[in-house]
Structure 1
Amino acid sequence: MQQIYPDLWQSLTERPFAEAPQVTTHAYLLTRPESNVLFYNSSYLLEDADQIESLGGVAYQLLSHRDEITPALADLRTHFGAKLGIHAREADEVRAVSPLDLAFESRETWLGGIEVIPTPGHSPGSTSFLYASPHGQRYLFTGDTIFASERGWETYLIRGSNREDLVNSLKLLRGLKPDVVISSAAVAPDGVREVTPAQWRKAVDAALEELSALA
């Protein structure tokens, strides 16, 4: 894994779609004295198992939405003993491949300072996570609700997406003040972007405009 901030590490780059090699995905390990938390999923994590163990292992793995559900979740749970969490709307899909420990339903704070923010639209159970690092930055993990691209920021309607829910979720995210936004997938080498409050509002406005154009 590559260290990108004092307490945040990025997994190896994965390109899950042969027909769209420009799309990349990563998982991110947040290291904390009380318990390490892994956001998202990657099929390459066991390749970094020794390094992850040296960083304190994985106590919890939090998924942002159903696209991150793969059979690898069971292997990660077995190896690290990590407890697994996803929104309750997509819990049954997780249980098909791995036991589930945490099912989110509403906006609340879990695991000692991680704010769980349901942001449905891209999928029914899409969830974002906000964490104020003691190193001074606020990390916002957005899953695929809004993601980085080479032309800035984008959102995406897939089959089963709910446009109205996605619009409302983006408006909710617009009101937050992250310093670093970290998407699950990206149309770029990675999904990590530092933003000012003005840049973030502009990014979300662009995504909302894109949705309006698709109507």
Structure 2
Amino acid sequence: MKQIYPDLWQTSVEHPFVGVSSHAYLLIQSTGNILFYNASLREEYTRIKDLGGIAFQYLSHRDEVSPALSEIKEVFGSKLCCHRLEEQAVEKEASVDYLFEKREILFGSIEVIPTPGHTDGSMCFLVNSAFGKRYLFTGDTIYMNNGIWESQYARGSTSDLKNSLELLRDIGSAVIISSASIGADSFKEVSAESWRSDVNNVLRTLY
């Protein structure tokens, strides 16, 4: 694992598909650590235990489902969370403890944002870090392809995806962290202006 910010750790890279890189991210917080996305490398679990374990695992969408979900619950006693529309796919591997349905604030600092399009139940999570950064976990709603932002629908709809991207476009300055990427870049700090321009460029490819 690698520490990328004072309260955020990145797991080692995995390759779920040829040419695709993925990471999970552990947010350290006093109300219980949160693992965003999924990690199946068992050697990472020892380090995660040293960092205080996992209280909650947040999935952005069904493509993060793997047998590791049940193993993480068993090892850490964590609660698994996803959107209601992803529940059926997730429960093929592990029981779900909490379902997201609407935009809401958790723990006073984490905003849950439904962003249908890539899949009907895709989610993003906006974290206001105690250390001054804002982390936007986008799942596969928007990701980098060799340094260029990109988006595509999988089992959702193009119209929903456009609406979700328009919503994310106005988030402002943040660290954008996708669950997968093509190439080495998996997250990037952006200004409000550059992010808005980048999302507009992505939207043009969807029309």
The answer for the alignment partner of 2:8 in structure 1 is 8
The answer for the alignment partner of 1:66 in structure 2 is 62
Match of 1:191 among 175, 186, 195: 186
RMSD: 1.1
Map 1:29-40 → 2, pairs under 5 A = 29-40=26-37
Tell me the secondary structure at the aligned position of residue 99 of structure 2: strand
Map 1:162-181 → 2, pairs under 5 A = 162-181=157-176
- CA-to-partner distance for each residue in 1:74-111, whole Å, 9 max, x for gaps? 00100011100000001111122111111000000124
The answer for the alignment partner of 1:201 in structure 2 is 196
What percentage of aligned pairs have identical amino acids?
Answer: 48
CA separation in 2, counterparts of 1:30 and 1:141? 11
CA separation in 2, counterparts of 1:122 and 1:140? 16
- CA-to-partner distance for each residue in 1:93-139, whole Å, 9 max, x for gaps? 11221111110000001244211000000001000000100100100
Of 188-197 and 127-136, more deviation after overlay is shown by 188-197
After TM superposition, where is structure 1 displaced by more than 4 Å over at least 4 residues in a row? Answer: none
Structure 2-normalised TM-score? Answer: 0.97
More strand by share: 2
The answer for the alignment partner of 2:23 in structure 1 is 26
CA separation in 2, counterparts of 1:177 and 1:78? 38
CA separation in 1, counterparts of 2:55 and 2:76? 7
Map 1:49-198 → 2, pairs under 5 A = 49-158=45-154, 160-198=155-193
Aligned residues: 207
For structure 2, list consecutive stretches of 5 or more residues without a partner in the other structure: none
Structure 2 contact 8–26 (Cα < 8 Å) conserved = yes
Cα deviation for residue 34 of structure 1 reads 2.0
Tell me the secondary structure at the aligned position of residue 128 of structure 1: strand
